[in-house]
Amino acid sequence: TTTTETRKFEAEVAQVLHLVTHSLYSHKEIFLRELISNASDACDKLRFEAIANPALTAGDGELHIDVSWDKAARTVTLRDNGIGMSRDEVVANIGSIASSGTRRFLEALGEEKKADARLIGQFGVGFYSAFVVADRVTVLTRRADAAPEDGVRWESDGRGEYTLDAATLPERGTTIVLHLKDGEDDFLDGWKLRSLVRKYSDHVAFPIRMPKEAPPAAEGEDARAEAAPEWETANDASALWTKSKSDIPDDDYKAFYKSLGHDFNDPAAWTHNRVEGSQSFTTLLYLPAQPPFDLMLGGRDERKGLKLYIKRVFVMDAAEELLPNYLRFVRGVVDADDLPLNVSREILQQNRQLERIRGACVKRVLDLIEKLSRDEPEAFAAFLKAFGNTLKEGIVEDHGNRERIAKLLRFASTKGEGATQAVSLDDYVGRMPPGQDPIWYITADGYKAAAGSPQLEAFRAKDIEVLLMFDRIDEWMLGHLHEYAGKPLKNVAKGELPLDAADKAKQDEAAQAAAPLVERIKSLLGERVADVRVSARLTDSPSCLALADYDMAPHLARLLREAGQ
Ligand code: ADP
Ligand code: MG
């Protein structure tokens, strides 16, 4: 007594279906990620319900997701032994707007319900993405607490109607059969499917199994004859970051770092944290030991290497959403429990929860660099060599963490070892003699120009330390770093060196004596200088150029002139 019931999709579902199938063209492959993520959710739900009702998983306790294909029938099939659906649930979940993914999708489209192809491309669109590659989809499902006769068969061509039938299904869970459209035969390939599983679902915590591919059939022998397939797991099936720290050996951390791509070397350091609370998330963040190519080439556009997962499902590379630009060298994973899986990049950028996660990531990374500076000076020096100048951008970019970032920087100094950049601002402040207020520095376009500048003569004579800044970014950075630990940072070429009383008397005397000379030089140089003064800043050289407090450094002015500004 099987009766087929035909129903219409809710109007909005039909609308979504139309948009999805017509706009997702360049992102077809995400159907697999979406269906696997639903299967994984279904396994999660069953696992949870079985806590109260162990009978639900009796006899079949190992939750898994199977992906298979049939070249002759031109189908791709996903099967999970998760929670399954009752007839009412099928109607509610995949025939109406109730599904969370679809609702969010429509919300994101806004009032006009006009789909920007780009927006859709970045969207997960849930179950309906099946119709991007299939012109007919069959769902066979049986809820874990239902009898075999109470299974359901749902089928649709995705054009406005679907059918419902009763079905007898010996096993709980859901099977989804995609009857591929013409031209989608690419997906009838084990290698292709496996690579998609690895790309998008490697860290789904349930095994995603695929049939072991049989060796080519011998003559006259049908190798694929009726035998039940032998399954092998295609994904890693253990999300490393979900394990507890004490269970993860360093080698696993290192191997995982390499599996993220971009680097074949071991990382310099990592930090792994779980935050529980009103909002729960896990971060596993790495500092590379070597600069990757994109940074070496100065490229900023490709910011990969920080992956956003939502409940162990890979959502997108989200380095820009999760970290400020000056920490772009960080690699790793953020796994958020409470973000909608189908979130778009645009929505992410304004997401409050993400802001909190971002703040936590920045803090973790700065903590990690600080720890490296304390515990592993050599690794830290190598790290700064690779990324120190990138980090300096943070002085400009991240006001809130300016002091913390400044603390991490290292400079050459008149009391350091040659051009080696190893003196911290704390070192400097720690050895300031009583009575000295400013942290003195000089900028130049190279170590020699800085260290050999006549501006330093008076400071040397008085044994006052001066930091030597000669990286391209320093001038820009110093424009935003006015003080550290309550001490002002001052350029030796700007303003006047403060004098003690004896010096002051000597200088007044000298100034009087030299007054006629000064007048004569002024009249000779005329408009070319703002002022000519007798100065205490020199001991050996007869004269030097000085800058007023707000003047541009000479080498920067030269750079700008060269750039045609
Ligand atoms: P979302 O996953 O965001 O809820 P989807 O369109 O992907 O949106 O799925 C719609 C709903 O259909 C799910 O919420 C779930 O209730 C149901 N569903 C989909 N696939 C399965 C499955 N394999 N097992 C059980 N329920 C499923
Ligand atoms: Mg889904």
pLDDT for 138 beyond 70: yes
40 C-beta closer than 6 A to ligand 1:
no
Q: Which region among 276-280, 441-445, 501-505 has the lowest average model confidence (pLDDT)?
A: 501-505
Going 449 to 450 to 451 to 455, the CA torsion angle's sign is: positive
pLDDT tens, position by position, 382-398: 999 999 999 999 999 99
313 against 320, higher pLDDT: 320
Which of 351-355, 497-501, 546-550 tops mean pLDDT?
A: 351-355
Q: Read off the pLDDT of each residue in 550-563 and give the average, rounded to a whole number.
A: 65
Residue with tokens 């099987």: 2
Within 8 A by CB and 6+ apart from 302, the residues are 294
Over the stretch 341-394, which tens digit does the pLDDT of each residue have?
Answer: 667 777 777 788 889 999 999 999 999 999 999 999 999 999 999 999 999 999
E-strand ranges in 46-184 read 65-70, 75-80, 134-142, 151-156, 161-167, 173-180
Mean pLDDT, residues 45-66 taken together: 88
pLDDT at 468: 97
Of the ranges 152-156, 253-257, 278-282, 541-545, which one carries the lowest mean pLDDT score? Answer: 541-545
188 in Cβ contact with 76 (< 8 Å) = yes
In DSSP terms, which residues pair with 8 in a beta bridge? 161
What is the C-alpha separation between 307 and 282, in angstroms, rounded?
12
Q: What is the pLDDT of residue 129?
A: 86
Q: Given this model, what pLDDT does residue 218 score?
A: 58
Q: Whose CA is nearest to atom 10 of ligand 1?
A: 99
Which token pair is 89? 């649930």
Residue 11 has pLDDT above 90, yes or no: no
Mean pLDDT confidence for 145-164: 94
Is 127 near ligand 1, meaning CB less than 6 Å away?
Answer: yes
Residue 292 — pLDDT band, cuts 50, 70, 90?
low
d(CA 335, CA 280): 9
When comparing pLDDT for 316 and 79, which is higher?
79
Could you give the CA distance from residue 286 to residue 283 in angstroms, rounded to a whole number? 10
Q: Do residues 287 and 267 touch, judged by C-beta distance below 8 A?
A: yes
**Do residues 282 and 334 lie in contact, with contact meaning Cβ atoms separated by under 8 Å?**
yes
Residue 422 pLDDT more than 90? yes
ipTM of the complex: 0.99
Helix axes 352-375, 377-397, angle to 10 degrees: 140
Model confidence pLDDT, tens digit, residues 157-195? 988 899 999 999 999 999 999 999 999 999 999 999 999
Residue whose CB lies within 8 A of the most ligand 1 atoms, among 78, 105, 127, for a mutation test: 127
Q: Is 115 helix (H, G, I), strand (E, B) or coil?
A: coil
Kindly report the three-state secondary structure assignment for every residue of 186-198: HHCCHHHHHHHHH
The confidence score (pLDDT) of residue 556 equals: 65
In 3D, which of 34, 259, 39, 42 has the Cα closest to residue 130? 34
- Nearest ligand for residue 94 CA: 1
124: pLDDT strictly greater than 50: no
Q: Residue 119: what pLDDT?
A: 46
CA–centroid distance, residue 553 to ligand 2 (Å): 57
Percentage of residues in the chain having pLDDT higher than 90: 50
> Does residue 13 or residue 371 have the better pLDDT?
371
The backbone torsions φ and ψ at residue 496, rounded to the nearest 5 degrees and listed phi first, read: -110, 145
| Mean pLDDT, the chain, whole residue set | 84
Distances (CA, A) of 422 to 187, 219, 410, 419, 470: 56, 72, 5, 9, 13
User: What's the pLDDT band for 127 if we cut at 50, 70, 90?
Assistant: confident
* Residue pair 313/37 in contact by the 8 Å Cβ criterion: yes
- CA-CA-CA-CA torsion sign (94, 99, 105, 109): positive
Asked if 456 and 414 count as a contact pair (C-beta separation under 8 A), the reply is yes
pLDDT at 52: 79
Atom of ligand 1 nearest to the CA of 78: 23
Q: Is the per-residue pLDDT at 554 higher than 90?
A: no
Q: Which of 44, 93, 103 to mutate to test the pocket of ligand 1 (most atoms within 8 A of CB)?
A: 93
**CB 100 near ligand 1, within 6 Å:** yes
Task: Place 295 in a pLDDT band, splitting at 50, 70 and 90.
Answer: very low
CB of 168 shorter than 6 A to ligand 1: no
Tell me if 405 sits within 8 A of 365, measured CB to CB: no
- What is the reported pLDDT for 105? 62
Torsion of CA 408, 411, 417, 419, to 10 degrees: 130
Q: What is the mean pLDDT of residues 514-522?
A: 83
Ligand 1 and 95: CB distance under 6 A: no
Instruction: Supply the pLDDT for residue 500.
Output: 59
* The predicted structure's pLDDT at residue 121: 39
Who contacts 421 (Cβ-Cβ below 8 Å, separation ≥6)? 384, 388, 410, 411, 412
- Confirm if 236 and 202 have CB atoms less than 8 A apart: yes
What is the distance between the alpha carbons of residues 197 and 210, in angstroms, rounded to a whole number? 10
Q: Name the more confident of 215 and 211.
A: 211
Name the residue at shortest CA distance from atom 15 of ligand 1.
Answer: 93
- CA 342 to ligand 1: nearest atom: 3
HSE value, Cβ hemisphere, 13 Å, CA-based, for 354:
22
Residue 70's pLDDT band (cuts 50, 70, 90)? very high
Statement: residue 1 has pLDDT above 70: no
CA of 127 from ligand 1 middle (Å) equals 6
Per-residue confidence (pLDDT) for residue 305, from 0 to 100: 76
Please give the C-alpha separations between residue 453 and each of 52, 189, 477, 537, in angstroms, as whole numbers. Answer: 77, 68, 21, 11
Q: Are 66 and 82 in contact (CB under 8 A)?
A: no
Residue 377: which residues within 8 A CB-CB, separation 6 or more?
none
Task: Tell me 559's DSSP state.
Answer: H
Going by the annotation, the residues of the binding site for ATP are: 34, 38, 80, 85, 93, 100-101, 122-127, 174, 345
310 or 295, which is more confident: 310
Give the separation between CA 441 and CA 457, rounded to whole angstroms. 13
Whole-number pLDDT of residue 59 = 86
Percent of the chain whose pLDDT exceeds 70: 80
Q: For residue 203, is pLDDT > 80?
A: no
Q: Name the residue with the closest Cα to ligand 1, atom 1.
A: 101
pLDDT (0 to 100) of residue 149: 96
β-bridge mates for residue 238, sequence order: none
More confident residue, 1 or 531: 531
pLDDT at residue 72 greater than cutoff 50: yes
- Binding site as annotated, residues: 34, 38, 80, 85, 93, 100-101, 122-127, 174, 345
Amino acid sitting at position 199: K
- In this prediction, residue 533 carries a pLDDT of 74
CA distances from 36 to 21, 45, 220 (A): 19, 14, 37
Decide: 455 in ligand 1 pocket, CB within 6 A: no
126 lines ligand 1 (CB under 6 A): yes
- Which residue's alpha carbon is at the smallest distance from atom 16 of ligand 1? 93
Distance separating alpha carbons of residues 177 and 74, to the nearest angstrom = 10
Look at residues 398, 250, 386 and name the one whose alpha carbon lies nearest to residue 324.
Answer: 398
Q: pLDDT class for 278, splitting at 50, 70, 90?
A: confident
Question: With contact defined as beta carbons under 8 Å apart, do 466 and 492 qualify?
Answer: yes
Phi, psi for 7 (deg, rounded to 5): -130, 160
Instruction: Give the separation between CA 476 and CA 91, rounded to whole angstroms.
Output: 61
Ligand 1 pocket check for 39: Cβ under 6 Å: yes
- CB atoms under 10 Å from CB of 320, counted, come to 15
Distance 37 CA to ligand 1 centre (A): 9
